[in-house]
Chain A
Amino acid sequence: MLSKILSFALNGISGYPVEIELDINPGLPSYDVVGLADLAIKESKARVKSAIQNSGYKYPIHKIIINLAPADTKKEGSMYDLPIALAILTASEEIPKEKLKNFVVLGELSLDGEVRKLNGILPMIISAKQMGFKKFIIPSENSMEASYIDDIEVYAVATLKDTVQFLKGEKEIERLKVKSFESALSERTYKNDFAYVKGQVSAKRALEIAAAGGHNILLIGPPGSGKTMLAKCFPSILPDMTFEESLEVTKIHSVAGLIDSQKGIVVERPFRSPHHTATLIALTGGGTKAKPGEISLAHNGVLFLDEMPEYARNTIETLRQPMEDGYITVSRNANTVQYPASFILVASMNPCPCGYYGNGTDQCKCSPTAIHNYLNKISGPLMDRIDLHIEVDSVKYEDLSDDRLEEKSADIKKRVDKARKIQLERFKDTNIYSNSKMGEKEFKKFCKLDTSCTDLVEMAFRKLNLSARAYNRILKVARTIADLDGKENIEKQHILEAIQYRTLDKKYKV
């Protein structure tokens, strides 16, 4: 007897349909899987057999052949356990054949017949929906993830037995209710808040500008000055993600298996902080399965590189291309995958190897060459892509013990939201959504200066020894400051403030 069931496979963060064909023939009992299945799929024999028997059904003692079509792409993972089990039961006429038509089935089985959670459900469902599939059977633990997609029929099942009874019409399983994105958004929480950061007014202001314009930022300061704390608070002032952004992030996190099954969808902007020993693959993505790396997991959020000069040079240099393009292409033997990787880079560093350069008169013990080499560890092209450099002062005891109230993240966020709205309006006909992403054309159009401003910029370059590469950065940041200020044109004071954030272009040290 022959049976066919539809399932899905993943390639990067998009899915493609896989048809599971199963044939039971008389002959010596056997179980063969063809169609470039990996070991996890071949091992499904044991799980499927036990699960069927432990659910109280009969496992056919015949020759079973399973084909995963298309037969020429590699399939991996354990999501085919449930469809194979259902195919066996259909072929052995436990379940009527026509019942499974149009269903896309995904799920891993445990030996006692329970249906287990999977990674990558959301991207598969989204792709399936785009291809016109409407009905799904998925593990109940993944139900939260699927519940934000409307226009489809999703049935979340807990056990194999339930599934069979549901298909036979013996038991009702309720169709998954669609949840609204707004409800998820309202449950959003951020662990860190700027209200708990004492002092640091200049760094906070710089982060506000970075958030408003989507600018990359570098924090320079002595150890213990609170660079990491500031960076951790940063996501809390970023504008809320739109539903599309949120889905995109959830897709990537789903593939990487990082979804909290209670929440289902990622509503907080991701904050990724890979350790400085992270390898190139860990950052960019790859491995045999071409998994997403840290930069993709930070998509639409923040990538925080603490102690940037400590990272291996070739590791951070690979950030250059994704920072420009907003995606990364991971090519592996098996497949080539494109992952989105559009993030705000927040980096921190010490001013010298010991960390105390310029802090007090004689604390720093580094030789001039050591300081020079340390600052040179970050290449010019990478520095070029960081719009704001800000020095973080060391914290004094008085600041810590002071109990005055600081501004809450929510209040800062209101200003950021306002500035972002202006930008969205400005770039509405393009695919740009923040000032930092302006290309040459937009730059010319939106960063126009009047004569007094042009004179000011010229004077600043002459007097402060700014490097030429600073020019575009300063004007883009000035544009964002003007937006925060609610001004149509860039004015003098906006430029003056923007120049403040080019510490490393000025002579940082002699």
Chain B
Amino acid sequence: MKENGQDISQALSITPPDVTEKKLKVRKPYLGLFFLGVFFFMVIFADLISPYDPFASDLSKGTLPPSWQEGGTAAHLLGTDFLGRDQLSRIIHGSRMSLVVSVGCILIYGTIGIILGLISGFFGGKTDMFIMRLSDIWQSVPGLIVILLLVSVIGASAKTVIISIGITGWPQFARVVRGECLSLKERDFVRLARVAGCSNFQIMASHIFPNIINTLLVLSTIQIAGIIVLSATLSFLGLGTQPPSCDWGLMLAEGRQYITYAWWLVTFPGIAIAITVIGFNLTGDWLREILDPKQMLR
């Protein structure tokens, strides 16, 4: 029903007093919030709820199937991997790695993007052109390439993933921030602040920045979804976290070698990734609808 509001106000040439467009739509994000709830529950209480130490291997219990399948035991609900490590515990602990990596990436490129975007939008002119050209160049180099480069130069690790995704992702952030900044700059409260003698830095920090927080929240939520997929992909390819870390992508890479007889090793970590990403995506879409940043996501 998202678009009905607009149709009606168009047809009536007015917005009827009690019907604002925003209130007409908004699908409730129960599923998304539930998935996110599960994810953050795992992150926070990983040590309490995981039945085993995720790193403890017991070769006598190697590659046990999930408990409901023949040969499985109730002790290991989702089975064990080739080293006899409990898969459920590893998945629960893997959530922490996903969060650390994605938040790390967002922090790095968010900072770069916000600073460059603010400068670009606020000062305009040559500075703006320079920064936007820079982001053009940056965007014409696929992120994966930078990651490949960094991996071959400084070696594969979680840190490499964070740094490389961090330095590749900023142009989109910068563009959104710049766009918001451009429109805010013309608003009265910013003009007044200028008249009142605020310095450029003060205006940016205390007048413009607080007004783009909604947009940044939405953008970050949706981008985290993408980063989780990307970082899992890198780990899967052997470019990211290294064994014996608990990382969903890495677990899939390890499980892939046993694909013909241990289906559970390639199934459950993937489900964990999928529901986390779905959670972030649904929540992000919902946030976008209720916070309504204008020019997001082409």
Whether A and B are associated in the same complex: the answer reads: no
